[in-house]
Each structure stands twice: as structure tokens, then as C-alpha cells.
Homo-oligomer: A and B are copies of this chain.
């Protein structure tokens, strides 16, 4: 057996939910192995919970449970915050840092809204603040961005970072389920948050996008600056049309470096459904899986793929942070602060140029194509591809479906085009507008 240091590191866990219970259980059942890796004792001094009587899977030994999180934080070497939400998590993390502890958190909402405050406090006291589990659960993405790619220039990140919406879109694509069916099954499987809006309206993905963008571009990105659209407007028709055209619909979290209208570069961060070409590696990310695709100037394209949720999967990332923090705690020397050295301007969503697929229902009469084409041309949006389906409806008043794919265009130009199309007599309805990404 390797020698164990005389030191015993005290670990306090805040939160006894699914992730907290798994972290406590793995720390207790794999204690010898983890201690050998660290080279010191790893003692769980307590797990702070709201209701000690609640049933937990896996179970936490009763003698470790406490309702006094504030007392638990005092005297711990490493505090693991798995409560979620803003308060009391924020106050407890700050207390822990001020008391000299290193902190591990999986709390994306807290980091996306109060990251600046926490990182500054950690830098001030020289503590470590790790958060590998906050984005894409068990997939190592924080450390690769923060360290392995720290010398590169990232151009763009495309991430599938919400497992439940990926499950829903994937089942609609591969099994032909309706939105309602897919939502129901996702809910039954426990894939959706208690408030499903957090998933399907893209709030969860937006928090993760803000964290990834900040790391990738060395710039503080507030979650309010993330343009956010959910998947609730995506229909089975959209998915079928995408499939026919060689695309798959994914909810993407996108952070990219773009040319600023004021000169220089800035960043735009956004979450919305997008068409991804079938041959793109992200198209093969099925079910509840997550993946983050990184385009870097020197490294080229990289992808990180794995499970994006789950108690034990998320616990894996938390344990990795605990072992890393414990090793550094023993070695001595302060934590390395977050870098916001680039401090790039955060640009409005309209700074984005991308491609679009627009599905139109039009009157099947002569001249309609010319009308539609000129609406695009007038707003400087160039068309890459036109496809017209057979007309349907009554013979006297037939309706045809037009699918238009554009070249790269600005959001504002596209919005003006859509407005013009809506006012065009030949256009019955703009059925859908979806961005095309990954090209």
C-alpha cells in the first residue's frame, strides 16, 4: 500500500440530492483508492441537507447528515457545493472561500449569474474554484478549455449541452415521434427538470453557453447576453424537411468570435435550434448524450463527447475536481485565477452571420417564385437553394411549399426579408425559419 500522508483533508458536501448522494457514496466506498491517488486522507465531515429524513439513493449514513450548512463549511478543507440555484449556494460558497477552503461546484446557474463575484473572491484568497461538472456533466470540457487550449485561439464552439432536448429532437428525427410524444417520454424517463421550461426554452443551455464562452474567449460573458430560443416551436414538419434535405435539427449552444461592426472582434453567444449537416460529428450525437465541438485556429476541430447528465456521471466530474483540488491543496500554492484577459466586446445577436432555411407556404400561381426571390434580393440575402414541393389544396386555390436555403446573411437582413415575405400577397405563411450551422 502506498504511504498516506499524515494529513487528513476534510471534505464538506452541501446538498444531498442525486449528485450529492452519489458523490458522498463514491467518496466513502472508494475512499482507499482515492486517498492513495491523492496521497492523504479524505474525510467526509458531513453532508448538509434540508431534510435529513428524506429517502436518498444511494443512502447517506445518518451520522453524516446535518441541516447546518454554515457550520459545516467552517473548518473544511474542500467544500463541494451541490445545492443548485442561487441562494443559499452563493452565500455558502463565499463563506467557504473566506474560511480558506477550496470549492468545487456543479452549479451552472450560480456560475453563469454570479461567476465574477465568486472568481474574484477565490483569486483574492488564493483558493481553487473548480467546476468541471457544471457543463456537460462527466465530459471533461472545462479543463481542456481552461488549460489544454489556453495557448490557442478558439474561433467557435458548437455544443449540444442539454440532454433532454437532444433526446426529444433525436426521437422526433429517428423514430418519427411528435413533439408531444417525445416530451412525454422524456418526462417519464426523468430527463426533464421539474420545471421543463428550463430545458425546452433553452435556459439551461444558455447558462452553459455563457460559461463556455467565458472560458473560450477569456472574457466574462453574462448569461443575459446569451440570445436564447428553445425547441418548442420546432415541429415534426421541420424535422422531416431537414431530414429530406440531409440535415438534423439540434438545439445548439454557440459561442463565436465575429467581426464587430465597430471594427476589431467581439463575441456572440446564442442558443437556438439549428440544422446540422448529417455528416457533421454533432449529427451523430443521439439520445441524451452531450457533445462540444470546438473550432480552434491552431488545433483545428476537436470534439468532446459523452453522457451529459445523470447522478453518477456528474459525480465523476465532481470527484475529479476533488482529487485535483486535494492534490494541489497538499502541494501548496494558491489556485490559478480565471483569465478574462481578452475582455472582448460582447456583441448584439445581430452581429451574427449565418445561413437559414426558410419554409414558405405560397400560392401556386405564376410569378410567385419571382416575388419570393425579389424579397430576398431586396434585403441583400442571397439564395443558395430553392426547392418547391407539389401543390396541394383545392384546385381553385392550390398551395405549394417552398424551401429556401440562404447563403450567409445577417440576422437583421433575414428579419427584414421575413417581414417582406409576410407582406407579400403570394406568400400564405412563413412556416418556419431555422438557422443552419456546422458548415
Chain B residue nearest to A335 in the complex (CB) = B331
The stretch among A243-251, A296-304, A383-391, A419-427 that forms the contact with chain B is A296-304
Stretch at the interface among A188-196, A310-318, A372-380: A310-318
Contact of A144 among B143, B318, B335 (CB under 8 A): B143
A298 touches B319 (CB 8 A): yes
User: Are A303 and B303 closer than 8 Å at their CB atoms?
Assistant: yes
A306's closest neighbor in chain B, by CB?
A: B302
Contact A37 B339, beta carbon cutoff 8 Å: yes
Q: How far is it, in angstroms, between the C-alpha of A149 and the C-alpha of B320 when the chains are bound?
A: 5
Q: How many residues of A contact B (CB 8 A)?
A: 63
Interface residue from B310, B323, B333 paired with A332 (Cβ < 8 Å): B333
Given A306-B300, A328-B333: A140 and B151 within 8 A (CB)?
no
**A284 contacts the other chain (CB 8 A):** yes
Complex contact B143–A302 (CB within 8 A): no
Do the beta carbons of B318 and A151 come within 8 Å of each other?
A: yes
Q: With A140-B149, A320-B152, A333-B334 given, is the CB distance from A281 to B302 under 8 Å?
A: no
Contact assessment for A299 and B305 in the assembled complex, using a CB-CB cutoff below 8 Å? no
Kindly name the residue among A2, A132, A142, A152 whose own CB sees the greatest number of chain B CB atoms within 10 A: A152
Shortest Cβ gap from A54 to chain B (Å): 23
Taken together as a complex, chains A and B put the C-alpha atoms of A318 and B153 apart, in Å, by 13
A37 contacts which chain B residues (CB < 8 A)? 150-151, 218, 339, 341-342
Instruction: Please tell me if A197 contacts chain B, counting CB pairs below 8 Å.
Output: no
A36 interface neighbour in B307, B333, B341, Cβ under 8 Å: B341
A163 to chain B, nearest CB (A): 12
Q: Whole-angstrom distance between the alpha carbons of A342 and B302 in the complex?
A: 31
Verify if A327 is at the interface (C-beta below 8 Å from B).
Answer: yes
Q: How close is A57's CB to chain B, nearest CB, in angstroms?
A: 15
Interface status of A324 (Cβ within 8 A of chain B): yes
Stretch in A26-34, A71-79, A204-212, A229-237 with 4+ CB within 8 Å of B: A26-34
| Of the residues B34, B139, B140, B152, contact of A316 by C-beta under 8 Å | B152
Do A26 and B143 touch across chains, with their CB atoms under 8 A apart?
Answer: no
Interface string of A320-350 (1 = CB under 8 A from B): 1111100110011111100101110000000
Q: Which residues of B contact A138 (CB under 8 A)?
A: 152, 296, 298-300, 302
> Which residues of chain B are near A307, meaning CB under 8 Å?
299-302
A147 at interface by CB-CB < 8 Å: yes
A99 to chain B, nearest CB (A): 20
Contacts A334-B331, A339-B37: A151 and B322 contacting too (C-beta < 8 A)? Answer: yes
Give the CA-CA distance A34 to B273 in the complex, in Å: 35
- A310 CB contacts on chain B under 8 angstroms: 300
26 A-B contact pairs sorted by A residue (CB < 8 Å): A33-B153, A36-B341, A37-B151, A37-B218, A138-B296, A139-B299, A140-B148, A140-B149, A147-B320, A148-B324, A151-B322, A151-B323, A284-B284, A296-B316, A298-B313, A299-B306, A299-B313, A300-B307, A300-B310, A302-B304, A302-B306, A304-B305, A328-B333, A331-B334, A332-B333, A332-B334
